[in-house]
Amino acid sequence: MFDLVIAGGTLPDGTVADIGIRGDRIAEVGRIEAAAQASAGRVIDASGDLVSPPFVDPHFHMDATLSYGLPRVNASGTLLEGISLWGELREIASTGDMVTRALTYCDWAVSMGLLAIRTHVDTTPDHLRGVEAMLEVKRKVAPYLDLQLVAFPQDGLYRTKTGRENVLRALDMGVDVVGGIPHFERTMDDGAASVKDLARIAAERGLMLDLHCDETDDPMSRHVETLAAEVTRHGLGGRAAGSHLTSMHSMDNYYVSKLLPLIAESGMTAIPNPLINITLQGRHDTFPKRRGLTRVKEMQALGITVGWGQDCVLDPWYSLGTADMLDVAFMGLHVAQMTHPEEMARCFRMVTEDNAKIMNLEGYGLKPGCMASLVVLDAGTPTEALRLRPDRLAVVSKGKVVAERARNDARLSLAGRPASVRRRH
């Protein structure tokens, strides 16, 4: 007997199947007879709708989210003014403020079928209030949302007296992943040293590594080279990621022809953040203005796992955002020019399967034995979901229905036309 059946949905690969759920696990995928459906605790009719594993965001800043305008808006729109504003805000925001804002964001995420998030937590201030707040949020949302926390020295590992010590303190407090920001250290040499130091810390502690790496338009910012070499040296492979990698957009092509195989050899993954990269990069350019997005298709062609991250929603760096990973993929698809049908399908997989792989999530997917987490979308295919960014009709997390929404078709008042219109094809 099933606790829940999602009946007749279309899976991302085009298969039409019923999904039977027992407890927090998927028990069956295929055809479930009417009698078995009749005895189930609940049946959700998903016929004609897309049923996907949940959306996953491998790059976010939950300690800063929903703070747009505090203490004031970012007038220049640059990364550096954003860092400076955040430096003021983190000193005046209480633990309670951060918890409240983060929990609101988590509610938004759940409503959009986003059920796993890796969030960088600033470890720069000695009070570590952000770490305390995010550990509390992680505990609170654990029954329905998986949070991974990254110890992130926003102002640099070596630029402040206690930068390194505070990363270690945060890891001791239970933060999951080692973070860093080599391009923000005082010198290129310090940046390279920080990558080596952080990779060693991750290897010694058996932790994952995820560095903000080369988030700059400077084509000579080459810390990703050091990161790939250190990941290879320590055998960190798929447990290490380079976030942003925007300098790769501007690098010399000959150098990139050496770099890409090094990244592939290391097994590390890559996390561009298209909404933020297209907004923050190229700010010092006149025309033509660079897009700043890293080389996504070129990395994928070498077998490197590349995901799409969201990075920011309503904070000192970005004034918009909705917790919808389809918005993120939609922007990524455009900026990376991934318009072939296979590339569009890949963009959907990037915000689901590929991001789950980057975060090393256990039990992710729509197979028997996997965690019973999924989302029902008002779309027929992954590509249609990207085109429409449609309503999430139902969201199931760990076997429980955690969000539902009625189908919402527009009513028309046009003489000689039907009374309602659906955007679906």
Q: Which residues are catalytic?
A: 215
Could you list the beta-strand ranges (E) of 153-247: 177-180, 208-213, 240-244
Smallest separation (angstroms) from Fe ion to the CB of 261: 26
* Cα–Cα distance, 416 to 108 (Å, whole number): 39
Of the pair 225, 311, the CB lying nearest Fe ion is at: 311
* Cα–Cα distance, 279 to 276 (Å, whole number): 5
Smallest separation (angstroms) from Fe ion to the CB of 315: 10
* Cα–Cα distance, 295 to 258 (Å, whole number): 14
Distance of CA 233 to the CA centre of its chain: 27
Q: Which stretch binds Fe ion (CB under 5 A): 45-53, 62-70, 217-225, 310-318?
A: 310-318
Is 311 one of the binding residues for Fe ion (CB under 5 A)?
A: yes
Q: How many CA atoms lie within 13 A of 272 on its CB side?
A: 33
CB contact at 8 A, 371 and 115: no
Of the pair 116, 393, the CB lying nearest Fe ion is at: 116
Question: Residue number with the shortest CB distance to Fe ion?
Answer: 311
Smallest separation (angstroms) from Fe ion to the CB of 72: 21
Of the pair 311, 354, the CB lying nearest Fe ion is at: 311
Cα Rg, the chain, nearest whole Å: 22
Smallest separation (angstroms) from Fe ion to the CB of 127: 21
Structure tokens at 36: 């078995």
Smallest separation (angstroms) from Fe ion to the CB of 59: 6
Of the pair 122, 311, the CB lying nearest Fe ion is at: 311
Q: Which stretch binds Fe ion (CB under 5 A): 307-315, 355-363, 376-384, 410-418?
A: 307-315
Q: Which stretch binds Fe ion (CB under 5 A): 49-57, 186-194, 305-313, 407-415?
A: 305-313
Smallest separation (angstroms) from Fe ion to the CB of 273: 7
Size of interface with Fe ion, in residues (CB under 5 A): 1
CB contact at 8 A, 393 and 49: yes
Q: Which stretch binds Fe ion (CB under 5 A): 9-17, 139-147, 261-269, 308-316?
A: 308-316
Does residue 316 have a cis bond before it (omega within 30 degrees)? Answer: no
Is 210 one of the binding residues for Fe ion (CB under 5 A)?
A: no
Of the pair 311, 324, the CB lying nearest Fe ion is at: 311
* Cα–Cα distance, 116 to 373 (Å, whole number): 10
Smallest separation (angstroms) from Fe ion to the CB of 29: 36
Is 315 one of the binding residues for Fe ion (CB under 5 A)?
A: no
Q: Which residues 235-274 are close enough to bind Fe ion by CB under 5 A? A: none
CB contact at 8 A, 154 and 86: yes
Angle, helices 253-266 vs 223-234, to 10°: value is 20
Smallest separation (angstroms) from Fe ion to the CB of 165: 22
254-286 burial, b if ≥16 CB within 10 A, otherwise e? eebeebbebbeebbbbbbbbbbbbbbbbbbeee
Backbone phi and psi for residue 392, each to the nearest 5 degrees, phi listed first: -90, 110
CB contact at 8 A, 128 and 99: no
Query: Across-strand partners of 118?
Result: 148
Structure tokens at 9: 């949905």
Of the pair 211, 402, the CB lying nearest Fe ion is at: 211
Of the pair 181, 395, the CB lying nearest Fe ion is at: 181
Cβ atoms within 10 Å of 112's Cβ, excluding its own = 22
Of the pair 111, 279, the CB lying nearest Fe ion is at: 279
Q: Which stretch binds Fe ion (CB under 5 A): 26-34, 121-129, 294-302, 303-311?
A: 303-311
CB contact at 8 A, 107 and 133: no
Q: Which stretch binds Fe ion (CB under 5 A): 143-151, 180-188, 198-206, 306-314?
A: 306-314
Footprint of Fe ion (CB under 5 A)? 311
